[in-house]
Chain A
Amino acid sequence: MLDRIHDIWGQRAPYADSEWPSRLDEHVVEEPERWVQSACVLCSHGCSLDIGVKSGRMVAVRGRVIDRVNRGRLGPKGLHGWVANHSSDRLTRPLVRRDARLIETTWDEALAEVVARSKEVGAKYGSGAIGFYCSGQMMLEEYYALAQIARAGIGTPHLDGNTRLCTATASAALIESFGSDGSPGSYSDYDSTDAIFMVGHNMAETQTVLWSRILDRRRGPRPPRLIVVDPRTTPTAKEADLHLRPRPGTNLALLNGLIRLLIENGNLERAFIDQHTVGFDELCDVVGSYPPERVEEITNVPQALLREAASILGNAPRVVSSCLQGIYQSMQATAAAVQINNLHLIRGLIGKPGSTVFQMNGQPTAQNTRECGADGELVAFRNWNNERHVEELARLWNVEPAKIPHWGPPTHAMQIFRYVETGSIRLLWILATNPAVSLPELARVRSLLRKKGLFLVAQDAFLSETAALADVVLPAALWGEKTGTFTNADRTVHISLKAVDPPGDARSDLDILLDYARRMDFRDKDGAPFPSFTDARGAFESFRAATRGRPCDYTGISYEKLTGGSGIQWPCDERTGTSRERLYEEGIFPTGAEECALYGHDLETGATITEEEYRARDPGGRARIKAAHWQPPYEEPDSQFPLWLTTGRVVHHWHTRTKTGRVRALNDAAPEAFVQFAPEDASRLGILDGDLVEVESRRGKLRLPACIGDIAPGCAFIPFHYGDRAANELTVTGWDPVSKQPYFKYAAVRARKVKP
């Protein structure tokens, strides 16, 4: 059997300018009786796979060679993660809190309690006292049902996903630049590109299969150059031709300096700028004040390296850029992400084979949280601030437009938790996520979740740190135990069919939500039950209809078309039935005032642009080039807390380890948290590899074993996965003013060696 735990990226298959060669990866514990089509839910790459079933149990997985995304490959989490479905501590019965203890009960009793409290809170305090916090792990059908229930059943603006922590900035940056969410390119752009630019994106660990594709290109003829921006010397950075290590919190200064050099060197596609963009002059004004000397002063990146990066990115005929949490979870996230879009706009490198920008997703189904309106936008990237969009949605749902909250922006996650803290949200329903480990500044989060007067509902497959604090716990089915669809970071939609039954009384998130809706007796404006659908297929059909004519058109996609072959990219409309591999091929963007998903923001302040302001300068199909000045982070190292803390991921784990921590192969490979220092800092502090170290910030402290090397001096790194010693005890509460994504990538800490 192949060992993808240690040989993470597998054997190389060098290639160039052709289809990526396939490779079958599989993990077979027992010979299955049948194979059931699905796709992996342990990162945003979206590898298609089959689940092997024997006697009603999962016994194997294998990659689907036919699929455009992974061509048969699977990563360590995909090959092993499914074992968690068999954990003996799965939740199998609903739980309710009685005398401070959670006791097993029936669905009837548990849901009756949730319904009674929902009605009581709604009647007494209004729909604004009820909030929902979901995930990037559920399926399209489930988000869509949740969006209907929250927005037009209850009628609350307080619905968001943990995608707020992960890819809110991807969505915000795409909307600010191009008018709509949706990554413009295709993974196949890596097959022919000449240069790859990865900013704050440790792809080797976060999307191992896509990284294999890049390694295969790099080992083949005419390999693409690789530039990586990261304060850590990650496996990704080790492969790079050029590695820039900026200080935490200085991404925007670095990118402004880079764009300035491109402009100075004349690496511009004038015709594209003139015909397909607005705002180039403002960009020149802003980046003009970032000469290489100043950039070096701010970022600590040597001028020569910056110039070399600019020369590669300015001259390569085709470039693929991507960014992830190093941008999204740091200072001025949206402004920095937008600057990467600008690189492609000023060079006209978008919508063409081999050239695109990936505003990458972290989670497998984050794209669907966004498309379904289970976060900050309305369904199918409709603009809450555009009365016509709201009316259209209300017509599709057959509800009054006034029922759908659109008097202000949908409440973002951090604000939802603030309303819980101040007591104005009295009922919070958390689905498939674990904020008691994943949110910043955990001491605060735990205390607000324990608050008297808050009725907390948790829906999960395990008794997570969050579920343990709930008043009612609803046992949910996992992937493989239900049917649904989800969409990856290059817009490929996959179907995941039910392979086995969930354990005990556990039910799919969709069934739980629909049961709740029936018990609440939600009705549309003609008195028919709302939502109108009763199963996953019905939910998909309803969503499909809601995407007609929108940028994420699903009308040409069906369960039938998704079954048997490869995943299918949106947009795919019913008229042509063909999907589009790349968006914006003609340089036309959905930025017109009637089309755009939002009117956008002032990137420095977060102020929203009003409809009138937007219409006065309607870009009408041109991309928007926006720029902002760099601002120093809100917390910086000082004499008391002299080190930068940055947090992140390790290849063998996912999120708060709810699943991967229960898989022996994965957990043995990365059993505990650690803190990483540069050798210079370690020797100054008298710390040796493996020593126990206390790391402290203004928010809390942690004891962790040290690991020395592969990080810039002055920085410390802690993986955030581990609930017992959570990096988020130390992080700051704060967020990007545009995307509202919290800062996990900078905080000031101190460290000292302690006796074990």
Chain B
Amino acid sequence: MIGLARYLALLESAEKELSAALLAVAERHAREPEIWQTATFFARWSARHATRVKEFRKRFGPGTDKGSRKLGNALFQGVRRDGIGLVRDLHDLSTLAHFVHLGWDASLQAAKALRNRALVDAIGEMGAETDRQMAWLRTAIAAMAAQALAVPPELFSELVASRPKRPSSVPRRMIRESQLRRWIGLFSSVEGP
């Protein structure tokens, strides 16, 4: 076994973690349509990455790394209501995405050293999508942080406006568990944050 197997395992679990976290954040802030739309869209990307990286990982022998699981558990703590709660959630998603991004960087070095063209290409494609996820997370934080952090909240309205109920604009079937599992490719060890 070489270290790359462990790194690919780390990436596989980190992408599952990120995918589940994106869906959880999407649901929690479903009254922010743009967050809901884009986070569910990105959850599919991460789920696809997890499946794709697993195929490569299997070729390099067994490997495990619980690091991303622990990271995921450490994040998304505390009250995450509208406004500042959303910014905090986006902040934590960025941390996970950054974790994935560095995983691609490290694995890409190894793939190049091994002259594994297929893996180099795959990492290039997936890494580019991770960069786009990070760019969106930065954009969303930049668009919302000032209002969330500089304007005093009105607690009652905020509570009412961020009830965890899904917005009526969202068809329930879109976020059914079954669909979620289809995207994620059955992530048995990840229950989500």
Contact = CB atoms under 8 A, between A and B. Distances in A.
Given A422-B161, A733-B33, A698 B169 contact: yes
Interface in B53-83: 82-83
Interface in B107-165: 132-133, 135-136, 138-139, 142-147, 150-158, 161-162
A605 B83 contact: no
Q: On chain B, which size bracket covers the interface? A: 35 or more
Given A418-B32, A606-B38, A606-B136, A441 B158 contact: no
A344 interface: no
Contacts of B170: 634-635
Contact of A608 (B139, B145, B154, B162): B139
A638 B161 contact: no
A722 interface: no
Contact of A407 (B146, B152, B155, B173): B146
B178 interface: no
A453 B154 contact: yes
Contact of B154 (A128, A424, A634, A740): A424
A602 interface: yes
A737 interface: yes
Contact of B136 (A407, A607, A635, A734): A607
Contacts of A414: 33
A740 B31 CA distance: 15
Contacts of B143: 408-409, 415
Instruction: With a 10 A CB-CB cut-off, give which of B41, B151, B173 has the most chain A CB atoms.
Output: B151
A408 B169 contact: no
A453 B160 CA distance: 13
Contact of A128 (B82, B147, B161, B162): B147
A127 to B, nearest CB: 9
B157 A408 contact: no
Interface string A693-734: 000001100000000000000000000000000000000111
A195 interface: no
B94 to A, nearest CB: 12
Interface in A398-439: 407-409, 411, 414-415, 418-419, 421-424, 426
B1 to A, nearest CB: 36
A126 B161 contact: no
Contacts of B161: 418, 421-423
Q: Report the contact-size class of chain A (Cβ under 8 Å from the partner).
A: 35 or more
B171 to A, nearest CB: 5
A424 B162 CA distance: 13
Contact of B34 (A124, A424, A451, A735): A735
A716 to B, nearest CB: 17
B174 interface: yes
A627 to B, nearest CB: 14
A157 interface: yes
Interface string A656-685: 000000000000000000000000000000
A423 B158 contact: yes
A173 B82 CA distance: 31
A129 interface: yes
Given A128-B146, A128-B151, A423-B157, A605 B135 contact: yes
Contacts of B142: 407-409, 608
A706 B147 CA distance: 45
A520 interface: no
B151 A129 contact: yes
A748 interface: yes
B188 interface: no
A130 to B, nearest CB: 10
Contacts of B157: 421-423, 451, 453
Contacts of B169: 441, 634-635, 698-699, 732-734
A605 B131 CA distance: 11
Q: Is the interface of B mostly helix, strand, loop or mixed?
A: helix
A408 B146 contact: yes
A631 interface: yes
Interface in A632-647: 634-636, 638, 641
Interface in A438-458: 441, 444, 451, 453
B150 A128 contact: yes
Contact of A698 (B144, B147, B171): B171
Contacts of A614: none
A533 interface: no
Nearest to A636: B171
B33 A735 contact: yes
B37 interface: yes
A441 B168 contact: yes
A125 B152 contact: yes
Contacts of B162: 422
B171 A408 contact: no
A638 B125 CA distance: 34
Given A408-B146, A607-B135, A423 B37 contact: no
B147 A424 contact: yes
A157 B146 CA distance: 10
Contacts of A641: 171
A607 B42 CA distance: 12
B167 interface: yes
Contacts of B42: 605
Contacts of A735: 33-34
A631 B42 CA distance: 12
Given A422-B83, A423-B161, A638-B173, A734 B151 contact: no
Interface string A28-40: 0000000000000
A408 B135 CA distance: 14
Contacts of A733: 33, 167, 169
Nearest to A407: B146
Interface string A6-40: 00000000000000000000000000000000000
6 contacts: A129-B151, A408-B146, A422-B158, A422-B161, A424-B83, A734-B37
Given A421-B31, A740-B34, 4 more contacts: A423-B161, A604-B132, A634-B171, A699-B169
Interface of B: 31-34, 37-38, 41-42, 82-83, 132-133, 135-136, 138-139, 142-147, 150-158, 161-162, 167-171, 173-174
